[in-house]
Amino acid sequence: MKRIKSLQFFAVLLAVLAQPFHSSECPTTISEDLRQDCHPEPGASETSCITRGCRWCETSAPNVPFCFYDSVEDPTCPNNVPVQKRIDCHPQLGASKEACEAKGCIWCSTKVSNAPWCSFPEVGPYGYALSGQPQKTAKGWRLVLMKRNTMMSLFGNDISPVAIDVEFQTKDRLRFKIYDPNSQRFEVPLKIESPSTAAADTSYDIEFINDPSFQFKIIRKSTGTVLWDTSLGDLIFAKQYLQITTTVPSTSVYGFGEHEHPSFKHNMNFVNYGMFSRDQPPTTFANLYGVHPFYMCIESDSNTHGILLLNSNAQDITLSPNPSLTFRTIGGILDFYVFLGPTPENVVQQYTEAIGRPHFPSYWSLGFQLSRYGYGSLDVVKKTVDRMRQYGIPYDVQYGDIDYMERHLDFTYDKENYAGLPEYIQQLKKDGMHYVIILDPFLSKDEAPGTYRPYELGQEMGIWVNNSDRVTPAVGKAWPPGDSVFPDYTNPRTADWWIQMCVEFKTVLDYDGLWIDMNEPANFGTGQYPGCALNDLNYPPYVPRITDSSLAQKTLCPDSKTYLGDHYNTHSLFGWSQTPPTFIAVQKATGKRAFVLSRSTFVGSGKYAGHWLGDNFSRWKDMHMSIIGMLEFNLFGIPYIGADICGFLLDTTYELCLRWMQLGSFYPFSRNHNGEGQTEQDPAVFGAEFAEISRSTLLIRYTLLPYLYTLFFDSHVHGNTVVRGLMHEFTSDHQTHGIDTAFLWGPAFMIAPVLQEGARSVDVYFPEASWFDYYTGDEVPASWHRKYVSVDAPLDKIPLFLRGGYILPTQAPATTTTRSRLNPFGLLIALDERGEASGSLFWDDGDSIDSIEKEVYFLAKYTFSEGQMRTKVVKNGYRGVDSLIYNTVQVLGVTSRPNAIVLNGNVIRGKDLQYQENGKLTLQISVPLTEELNIILQ
């Protein structure tokens, strides 16, 4: 048998070889008619092709791809499916020819790495067919589908009929929900508001096809681009296995989380990512702390759309080179939301309009923050704070990690090693600083009776996650001594208890914010005691590609019970459900805008919390990945984001930590945090040179904080990203699609950090725009546009650039925001090639809960054109601005020395006016913030 096969193969190979080659240079034996396109979307080049591991060979023959797979599939395979179109029919481990064919699928080996050998046939036996006619509903359509062949099942218990509700929710938002019309399944309780009737005018069309399986398409009306098309694979809807495949119109696909992705723009060569919240230090491909089944795709004409699968069950996503995406989840329903953009910013605005806009952070929380696990004592904290001050390093927030607690017990502090902590917190506050404490979700159940009220009250209230018997609490092991129980935050009673505990504890430690950790939820064992019973919830027929293929490892058994249902469904919602009550607790306790930092997040968490990228390693590679994570969380509607500066695990080095301080000075959430037992890494510990470089970089951050704060205001009100990739702003420049080594604050400020050891320059890509060096004001020459250019980056410098066309509000920096907020403001005006620019400033007291709702704020808009700058005060509702002034105005890109400057009718001259040959104009002025500026260059 084997011999015959190889003989046949040889015969075909000979036939292939006998065909004339197009070019003798083509490094291939694959004939033109056998080529399988490896770069179906536009923009193929030899380099992009070879990077994908494919062959490049130009030809004049029509419709023959230049870029194609470097393998001939085994030609003896029956009904062979071209490799890029293959959808895995044996996604679980242990595929074999026999197992594959028994499922009615095709077994065919391939040399293409990670491509499935077992794939669904092109016309599948697994699909559904439309039953009856689509019915019109108030919001759109309702369809009923019947399984075509009830004998065929991948994992058993297929459901038929299934229903699809299509809702035309808004002009740019479409929802389609595939569910069991006869039995209620778990649905994520995220409230997404939508009008009760279908949007009349939509930017999308849908198309149903029933030939022979049901398929459907979503089309962008204005261009005809197909955004969603299920024709590549059959829908599967079983009790514990749901699968759907769509083609995507290009390979510029971003998002899905939380993972450590090697690149911002995804590799689509059969890459798979599992999603299931897990206490897992970032490791490439592993499922991490949060779950975000959301992606964004830039179509080939630069229109952009985004799609959410609102599902919280363990799931995975396969990105295939067709290009296509295959979603697999093991519970809930298939509830998709499509956002039509058409710009990347519009997509994020529409996404956050649906899931909840990001919360508005306090001004102080934009300052630099310092933390470590294992200071060990208050003395060490004090020493650290003192050396930070000695070097004058800007610094707003100090943290207490779990070692401030007594024996790791929530709502206690260590009265020996941290004796005097309450008084010290007061002292920090007098110096204008803030203090944030960590809280874990689990509580020890083994303290002596009558000594640990948080547990006893919770026990009385019946608020823990229970075992499958629904009455006894699930007991696991975590940080505190003894064994622990796990509050079930999906239960409203638990929220009451938690808020009460947090508010009461504020009288012990006067914290300003809460940092909620370990809320995946983390447990040190596999499942609670005594382990997980053998049943379909704990051991489902398919386990998505998550670490160790285990749903219980480092957490609770899936058959545990929460108020909202089985832990199987609600596991990844644990941190998400803990976040709103924590937010309310901080608001109540402090009376101020809440600060909540959560390790586990889900769709919509950004409304209540920020996030840090987890227990990262102190390695150069991790520093690069932190940019990718930061860009992704901005897509997920969680713009208050940053990684642990200098890394958490492993010891850092001088140079790595210094470069990371420079990069981290531009994280929206800027915190240096370290693991237990690691050498100290605060920016003051490495001596004077390091401290001075950190100080000067942080002073730039503090100078630009009014701009950053205004970006957060825009994000909170309109849903914009705060930090964004270059592709958000220069979408039609395809070279920007893959850039993740540099990033922008809003539209106007580019940060291009050093990410390599020993490097003293950075290759920076300058999209078509005017750019100015932040340090000198020199304009980047036009010959650098659309190119990578090597820019100097000595150890004391992180390359920074301003984009022409924008006006950034600034403020003279200080060592805390409490002090800098009293300083004079400035305007940094970078002109574009037409000599124009615009910008705005939002200002309020920085920490009131509802300054926007109550209109107690100040908002000014600035425009510059035809040699004239004008301010318009849009809102003047905050009296705290009355004592503030503008003292400098800098204009970059001025083409010739002005003869005179007229400011609000008065001529400025002398030392108050400076003009440099590089086109930088500096004015010293003194004008109240509330006065509208009118500056004329003559």
Ligand X SMILES: *[C@@H]1O[C@H](CO)[C@@H](O)[C@H](O)[C@H]1NC(C)=O
Half-sphere exposure of 394 (CA within 13 A, CB side): 29
Least distance to ligand X, CB of residue 261, Å = 7
3-state secondary structure of 815: coil
What's the rounded Cα separation, in Å, for the pair 158 and 98?
22
State the nearest-atom distance from the C-beta of 491 to ligand X, in Å: 6
- Nearest distance, CB of residue 715 and ligand X, angstroms: 20
Tell me whether residue 349 or residue 468 sits nearer to ligand X (CB atom). Answer: 468
Nearer to ligand X, 299 or 644 (CB): 644
Minimum CB–partner distance for residue 642 and ligand X (Å) = 8
Pick from 582, 402, 452, 427: nearest CA to 510: 427
Query: What beta strand segments (E) does 799-933 contain?
Result: 800-803, 806-811, 825-830, 837-843, 858-865, 868-876, 885-892, 901-903, 906-908, 913-915, 921-928
189 is a site residue for ligand X (CB under 6 A): no
Helix or strand (DSSP H, E) at 176:
strand 173-179
For residues 279 and 345, which CB has a smaller minimum distance to ligand X in the complex? 279
Of the candidates 695, 629, 634, 631, the residue with the CA atom closest to the CA atom of residue 661: 695
Footprint of ligand X on 265-284 (CB under 6 A): 282
Q: In whole angstroms, how far apart are CA 131 and each of 138, 147, 218, 333? A: 20, 9, 20, 20
Give yes or no for residue 623 binding ligand X (CB under 6 A).
yes
- CB proximity list for 478: less than 8 A, separation 6 or greater: 440, 442, 484, 518, 522, 523, 524
848 near ligand X, judged by CB under 6 A = no
**Measured from the CB of residue 511, what is the shortest distance to ligand X in angstroms?**
24
Q: Does 462 bind ligand X (CB under 6 A)?
A: yes
Which residue type is seen at 349?
Answer: Q
**Binding-site member from 628, 827, 829, 889 for ligand X (CB under 6 A):** 628
Q: Considering the rule CB under 6 A, would residue 469 count as an interface residue with ligand X?
A: no
Contact 195, 88 (CB under 8 A): no
Of 116, 614, 639, 725, the one binding ligand X (CB under 6 A) is 614
Name the burial class of residue 606, with classes exposed (0-12), middle (13-18) and buried (19+) by CB atoms within 10 angstroms of its CB: buried
Give the interface segment with ligand X, choosing from 222-230, 609-617, 684-692, 767-775 (CB under 6 A).
609-617
Cβ proximity to ligand X: between 178 and 631 the closer is: 631
Handedness of CA 221, 227, 228, 231 (dihedral sign): positive
CB of 670 to ligand X, least distance (A): 13
Q: Of 18-26, 337-345, 620-628, 725-733, which part binds ligand X (CB under 6 A)?
A: 620-628
Q: Which helix (H) or strand (E) holds 298?
A: strand 292-298
Within 10 angstroms of residue 375's Cβ, the number of other Cβ atoms is: 24
Shortest separation between residue 699's beta carbon and ligand X, angstroms: 24
Q: Minimum CB separation from ligand X for residue 623, in Å?
A: 5
Out of 302, 398, 444, 466, the residue judged to bind ligand X by CB under 6 A = 466
- Please identify, using beta-carbon distances, which residue of 203 and 280 lies nearer to ligand X: 280
CB of 653 to ligand X, least distance (A): 15
Q: How many CA atoms lie within 13 A of 572 on its CB side?
A: 32
Give the binding-site size for ligand X (rule: CB under 6 A).
Answer: 23
Q: Which stretch binds ligand X (CB under 6 A): 71-79, 320-328, 368-376, 462-470?
A: 462-470
Tell which residue, 23, 67, 68, 60, has the closest CA to residue 45.
67
* CB 572 to ligand X: min, Å: 14
Pick between residue 297 and residue 625 the one whose CB is nearest to ligand X. Answer: 625
In the complex with ligand X, the residue whose CB is nearer, 752 or 808, is 752
Residue from 41, 258, 520, 844 in contact with ligand X (CB under 6 A):
258
Q: Which is nearer to ligand X, 260 or 512 (CB)?
A: 260
Q: Is 714 exposed, middle or buried (0-12, 13-18, 19+ CB in 10 A)?
A: middle
CB neighbours of residue 758 within 10 Å: 7
Binding track, positions 287-326, relative to ligand X; x by CB under 6 A: -xx-------------------------------------
3-class secondary-structure state, position 285: coil
Which three-class secondary structure state does DSSP give residue 755? coil
Our CB check for ligand X shows the closer of 439 and 623 to be: 623
Decide whether 95 or 661 has the Cβ nearer to ligand X: 661
Phi then psi for residue 472, to 5 deg, are -95, 140
260 sits near ligand X (criterion: CB under 6 A): yes
Asked if residues 312 and 188 have their Cβ atoms less than 8 Å apart, the reply is yes
| φ, ψ (nearest 5 deg) of residue 407 | 50, 40
Query: Residue 317: phi, psi to the nearest 5?
Result: -130, 135
Query: Which residue shows structure tokens 């400011």?
Result: 903
The tokens of 794 are what?
Answer: 């000595």
Report the half-sphere exposure of 398 (CA within 13 A, side-chain side): 23
The structure tokens listed for 306 are 């985004």
Residue 626 interacting with ligand X (CB under 6 A): yes
Please list every residue from 471 through 510 that binds ligand X, using CB under 6 A.
Answer: 471, 488
- In the bound state with ligand X, the residue whose beta carbon lies nearer, of 561 and 671, is 561
In the complex with ligand X, the residue whose CB is nearer, 52 or 292, is 292
Q: Assess 643 for contact with ligand X (CB under 6 A).
A: yes
In the bound complex, what is the minimum distance in angstroms from residue 189's beta carbon to ligand X? 14
**How many whole angstroms separate alpha carbon 646 and alpha carbon 400?**
18
The CB-of-588 to ligand X minimum distance in angstroms stands at 25
* Shortest reach from residue 280's CB to ligand X, in Å: 8
The residue range among 383-391, 514-522, 587-595, 621-629 that interacts with ligand X, by the rule CB under 6 A, is 621-629
Instruction: Write the DSSP symbol of residue 509.
Output: S
Region of residue 62 (phi > 0: left; psi between -120 and 50: alpha; otherwise: beta)? beta
**Considering the complex, what minimum distance in angstroms separates the CB of residue 577 from ligand X?**
12
Per CB under 6 A, 629 contacts ligand X: yes
Asked if 314 contacts 546 with a C-beta cutoff of 8 angstroms, the reply is: yes
Sheet of 475-476: strand order equals 443-444, 484-485, 475-476
Q: Which among 489, 538, 527 has a CA at the least distance from the CA of 331?
A: 538
Among 49, 370, 584, 625, binds ligand X (CB under 6 A): 625
Among the candidate windows 9-17, 95-103, 616-624, 803-811, which touches ligand X by CB under 6 A?
616-624
DSSP letter assigned to residue 249: S
Q: Supply the minimum distance, in Å, between the C-beta of residue 644 and ligand X.
A: 7
Instruction: Considering the complex, state which of residue 369 and residue 810 has its C-beta at the smaller distance from ligand X.
Output: 369
Residue 613 found at the interface with ligand X (CB under 6 A)? yes
Assess 562 for contact with ligand X (CB under 6 A).
Answer: yes
Q: Is residue 616 part of the contact set for ligand X (CB under 6 A)?
A: yes
Question: In whole angstroms, how close is the CB of 562 to ligand X at the nearest point?
Answer: 5
Nearer to ligand X, 215 or 491 (CB): 491
* Alpha-carbon gap, residue 745 to 669, rounded angstroms: 13
**659 belongs to the binding site for ligand X (CB under 6 A):** no
User: Contact region for ligand X (CB under 6 A) — 525-533, 561-569, 824-832, 891-899?
Assistant: 561-569
CB of 527 to ligand X, least distance (A): 17
CA proximity to 259, closest of 557, 589, 613, 503? 613
Could you give the C-alpha distances from 812 to 344, 706, 824, in angstroms and in order? 33, 10, 6
Q: Which is nearer to ligand X, 614 or 813 (CB)?
A: 614
563 part of the interface to ligand X, by CB under 6 A = yes
Smallest gap, in angstroms, from Cβ of residue 717 to ligand X? 27
- Contacts with ligand X, residue ranges (CB under 6 A): 258, 260, 282, 288-289, 462, 466, 470-471, 488, 561-563, 613-614, 616, 622-623, 625-626, 628-629, 643
